[in-house]
Amino acid sequence: MSKSRYEIKVGLFVLLCLVILAVLMLQFSKGTTFFRPTYTIAVKSSNAGGLRPRASVLMAGVQVGTVAQTLLSPEGTNVTIYLKIYKQYVIHRSARFVIEQYGFLGDQYISIYPNGNTGPPLEPGDVASAQEPFNLLEVARGAQGFIQRIDETAQKLNDAINDVRRLVLNEQTLTNLAVTVGTFRQVSEDALVTVQNINQLVVSNGVPAGTAISNLVVFSEQLNGVAQTAQGILNTNGPQIATAINNVQVSTAMLTNLLGEVQAGHGLAGALFKNDEMSGNFSLLASNLAVTSSNLNRLGLWRVIRGPKHPPPEPPHIQGKNPPLKQ
């Protein structure tokens, strides 16, 4: 065998080994395989993160396909990820696509959650939506802002505590607080003494209070009996009471009419009030009656009828003596 032919055979053998090695690497790594039929579906997400082509597509921890390519939309608002799914696996429209990551710093992949496998299956060329990956840097930025806000809040709280110490917990305020506490203690003691006195008063006057309450109960019972009796009297004599009230009303009406007649000058009483001459005669008659009654009372009936006696002659006046006084 010539040297050239030997070199060609060695070269072909090395090339064949390299091809077999490449095929094995694609078969046993996360690359696509050339021996399994697939169909393509597209998923859209607002951010693809660090997802690379030929990344794994897992469902329930089992690889069901690979990522073919990722394309940014012309507007730059979302990313379309094309997945090559093995023909033997059926993915329904209810499935949820999530971009996840191996460990803390591992590669990213697409995880499929079936969600009950409801709805029709996805056909080649169908489009679904995927949840964007967890962005640790964004969380760190948010945590940084949150920590900054906590720092500002702690600073404000520290300032508030300093203000409380300066304005509230100063020596004068503490002294006033101590005085207030002492006053409150004294008031509490006085209130306790007052309560004890009231309790003693209630205990010492328990019997009279009970007697008074018993008397009040008896009085209320008697009052109830009186009320029932009065109610019975009213029920029994209701017609008579109504007749008496009616008579009073009739008498009041007659008296009102009589006063009206007198005021109008009708009758003797009206003429007496309206006629001045008759009124004078009536006054004179009343005066004469008064004098006559006085004389009857003083002299008697007989002396009034007989008339007055003639006075005896006066005795002669004696010189030097005063005349006697008339009796």
Tens digit of each residue's pLDDT (9 = 90 or more) over 24-40: 776 665 444 556 788 99
Work out the pLDDT band at 273, boundaries 50, 70, 90.
low
Half-sphere exposure of 229 (CA within 13 A, CB side): 6
- Which tokens sit at 305? 């009828």
How far apart CA 10 and CA 17 sit, in angstroms, is 10
Predicted confidence at residue 325, as pLDDT, reads 46
How far lies 49's CA from each of 46, 54, 96, 107, in Å? 9, 15, 17, 10
Contact 97, 130 (CB under 8 A): yes
Q: What is the pLDDT of residue 313?
A: 57
Question: pLDDT of 200-228, one tens digit each?
Answer: 888 887 777 778 888 888 888 888 888 88
pTM: 0.38
For residues 278 and 265, the answer to whether their CB atoms sit within 8 Å is no
140-197 per-position pLDDT tens digit: 666 667 787 888 888 888 888 888 877 777 778 888 888 888 898 899 888 989 988 8
Q: For residue range 72-96, what is the model confidence (pLDDT) as tens digits?
A: 888 888 889 999 999 899 888 888 8
Task: Report the C-alpha gap between 134 and 45 in whole angstroms.
Answer: 12
Residue % of the chain over a pLDDT of 90:
5
pLDDT of residue 138: 64
pLDDT in tens, 113-123: 988 888 888 88
Q: How far apart are CA 46 and CA 80, in angstroms?
A: 9
